[in-house]
Structure 1
Amino acid sequence: MNALTNTDFHFDGQTNVYHGKVRDVYTVKNDLLVMVATDRISAFDVVLPKGIPYKGQMLNQIAAKFLDATADIVPNWKLASPDPMVTVGLRCEGYPVEMIVRGYLCGSAWRTYKSGVREICGVKIPDGMRENQRFPQPIITPTTKAELGRHDEDITRDEILSQGLVSVEEYEMLEKYTMELFMRGTEIAAKRGLILVDTKYEFGRRDGKIYLIDEIHTPDSSRYFYVDSYQELFEKGEAQKQLSKEFVREWLMENGFQGKDGQSVPEMTPEIVAGISERYIELFENISGESFDKADIADISKRIEKNVVDYLKTV
């Protein structure tokens, strides 16, 4: 199966291009962004060597769906999705921090907690908590927005303000929007029989207004548990059945890779790649509540170019 791992488009009026870990972002006339969700997959801040068929389509369509479903909370950058793997939207000046919100103690936060740490990003965590336990209230644990090739780093609210990364007034709005978006995501997930465990949001500024940018509530940026099995598994101390790309991280860790110096990514056989693709389709259908309609992948680049060019003629 074909997978889109690299792009090299030249759109009319194109003024810049940025190749991220997963998305390639083309700037048009310094005002619009054409964001292509590729089939690349990253874990531990490392882009893995093989692409995952249909992954980009799934991520883009989930993000587009949730951007539309939360537009009443905060304005967002999306204008249209002219291709299954593309969103076109407004160019904003991104804030240099990512807003991570956690409803449960798991993932990297659990690994940190298990090592004896009781404060994450300036937020104190009580003793005696167990893996996957729900926090009394969701907590915000921001990170820096790292440049390509560098790891995001935990940062506290006080450090963000003291370093002048975000003004006090704007940061208070970012916290407010983060919590409201998380509550909306939690409500939508509950209707699907899911628990939104944790997620991240990125924000930008345009004409003096805050916008939600990038992706939202996708399995790359979020973690979901199943409602019907959560309590029983938690009480037994067993691993939660979850919807996220954590299963990719776990496979890597089981094979000796955590993104550290000297470690090599394990071989991604065709069976491994196909299995990850199937898991992503499961994620899509559970999170969106819709059946996944596979796009034509005979020539992905040609399809994207035609659809984007046709759309840009209308704006």
Structure 2
Amino acid sequence: MSLANKVLAVNNDLPIRTNSPVHSGKVRSVYWLTDADSQRLIRERGYDVASDAPLAIMVISDRISAFDCIWHGEGGMNGVPGKGAALNAISNHWFKLFREQGLADSHILEIPHPFVWIVQKARPVMIEAICRQYITGSMWRAYSKGEREFCGIRIAEGLDKDQRLPELLITPSTKGILKGIPGVPEADDVNITRQNIEDNFEAFNFSRKEDIDYYERLLKEGFDVISAELEKLDQIFVDTKFEFGYVTDASGQEKLIYMDEVGTPDSSRIWDGASYREGKVVENSKEGFRQLLLNHFPDPDILLNKDRMAERQALAQDNALPESVLMAVSKTYVDIAEKITGQTLVMSDNPKAEIIEILRDQFGLID
């Protein structure tokens, strides 16, 4: 079987029973189940959720996005072999650890296949919760141009590129376009301060003002748990993005949970510890792919300049990357997943057929 066939690039065409359009993001597709199927699964599987909670099937793909574009390779390779399974395996590992250590639950109710989550609908907090332990990437670019205040926090003079920060820095940004918040531009992904959040907590979808402290605690504790585990593997947890939402459990209690993915090479930077001590950065995350793209094209400004989005999309559509590039990315993802989970990643020959069979035979979700 060719490599291209092993890649699950299109994940929004599965015959899962639904009354709603399939929502397809950069990497995952979400199938909202019918009310009848949601209620049946809650009963049959004993999920700790409200009896009328909407459930969804979330299917990951092997697509790779960077700089807000989806990239593809030669020979019809529309994704990275093993990437989806690696991302899910890593997220599942951290979510399990969070639960064991009493941090908070996630939106995941069950994992029937390495590519699939059964999730409950959460009311998202409209914040991309980013925390940084090292100064690198966009923060370093801004710092090197003289910026010293990030999300309302002043940071020290004299820092070097890729240096560890004196403390973990929380630099949140907006998730989606939020309207009518004083001092917050109506644009996706703009930096905000803690004061912005406190003054307008309801606009960011917090139920109570005191939940801001709780979200920050979950952010720091989640970061520390992952960082400590990676340290045992001589890997450095550089920075990451968390997302949060509210759900209601079977007893009617509302709770704040982790949602989306956590601690993956897509949502985080992970560096090799031994290389860092020798003064060089070796990325075990998607950042390596971003750097490769910046070096691959003669005009990297297209990838960095938001005003050149049309050119950037054309670049991604018109340029099939060499197979060797996508296989190098595959190796990064698979290696770090196996290192974190301590298990060999099972690469599926035909993930789509497997998913359909499981959801039909075990869950009765396919006609």
TM above 0.5, yes or no, is: yes
**Percent identical residues:** 32
Give distance in 1, aligned partners of 2:15 and 2:284: 36
SS in 2 for 1:135: strand
Equivalent residue, structure 2, for 1:134: 164
Q: Are the aligned partners of 1:45 and 1:151 in contact in 2 as well (CA < 8 Å)?
A: no
SS in 2 for 1:211: strand
Equivalent pairs, count = 305
Structure 1 counterpart of 2:24, from 19, 26, 31 = 19
Residue 4 (1) aligns with residue 43 (2) = no
Residue 227 (1) aligns with residue 268 (2) = no
Give distance in 2, aligned partners of 1:215 and 1:44: 19
Which letter does structure 2 place at the counterpart of 1:161? Answer: E
SS in 1 for 2:275: helix
Task: Report how far residue 60 of structure 1 moved.
Answer: 1.0
Task: Report how far residue 23 of structure 1 moved.
Answer: 0.9
Equivalent residue, structure 2, for 1:280: 333
Listed as ranges, the gaps of 5+ residues in structure 2 are: 36-52, 73-77, 178-186, 249-253
Q: Could you say if the C-alpha distance between residues 200 and 112 of structure 1 is closer, same or farther in structure 2, counting changes exceeding 3 Å?
A: same
SS in 2 for 1:243: coil
Q: Are the aligned partners of 1:84 and 1:295 in contact in 2 as well (CA < 8 Å)?
A: no
Structure 2 counterpart of 1:62, from 82, 90, 107 = 90
Structure 2 counterpart of 1:308, from 359, 362, 365 = 359
Give distance in 2, aligned partners of 1:158 and 1:98: 16
Superposed CA deviations along residues 38-74 of structure 1, whole A, max 9, x for unmatched, are 1111112222243112211111111111111111211
Task: Report how far residue 249 of structure 1 moved.
Answer: 0.6
Q: Are the aligned partners of 1:195 and 1:226 in contact in 2 as well (CA < 8 Å)?
A: yes
Equivalent residue, structure 2, for 1:211: 257
Cα RMSD over matched residues?
Answer: 2.0
Superposed CA deviations along residues 176-215 of structure 1, whole A, max 9, x for unmatched, are 1000111111111112121111111111101221011111
Listed as ranges, the gaps of 5+ residues in structure 1 are: 234-238
Equivalent residue, structure 2, for 1:236: none
Equivalent residue, structure 1, for 2:197: 160
Task: Report how far residue 311 of structure 1 moved.
Answer: 4.1
Q: Are the aligned partners of 1:192 and 1:289 in contact in 2 as well (CA < 8 Å)?
A: no
- 1:1-315 mapped onto 2 (5 Å cutoff): 1=3, 2=5, 3-6=7-10, 7-28=12-33, 29=35, 31-49=54-72, 50-71=78-99, 72-146=102-176, 152-163=189-200, 164-165=203-204, 166=206, 167-207=208-248, 208-233=254-279, 239-254=280-295, 255=297, 256=300, 257-258=302-303, 260=305, 261=308, 262-263=311-312, 264-265=315-316, 266-297=319-350, 300-313=351-364
Q: Are the aligned partners of 2:128 and 2:243 in contact in 1 as well (CA < 8 Å)?
A: yes
TM-score (norm 1): 0.90
Q: Are the aligned partners of 2:32 and 2:55 in contact in 1 as well (CA < 8 Å)?
A: yes
Q: Are the aligned partners of 1:105 and 1:131 in contact in 2 as well (CA < 8 Å)?
A: yes
Superposed CA deviations along residues 74-93 of structure 1, whole A, max 9, x for unmatched, are 12112221111111122211
Q: Are the aligned partners of 1:45 and 1:259 in contact in 2 as well (CA < 8 Å)?
A: no
Task: Report how far residue 142 of structure 1 moved.
Answer: 0.8
Task: Report how far residue 126 of structure 1 moved.
Answer: 0.9
Which letter does structure 2 place at the counterpart of 1:224? Answer: I
**More displaced stretch, 73-82 vs 256-265:** 256-265
Which letter does structure 2 place at the counterpart of 1:37? Answer: I
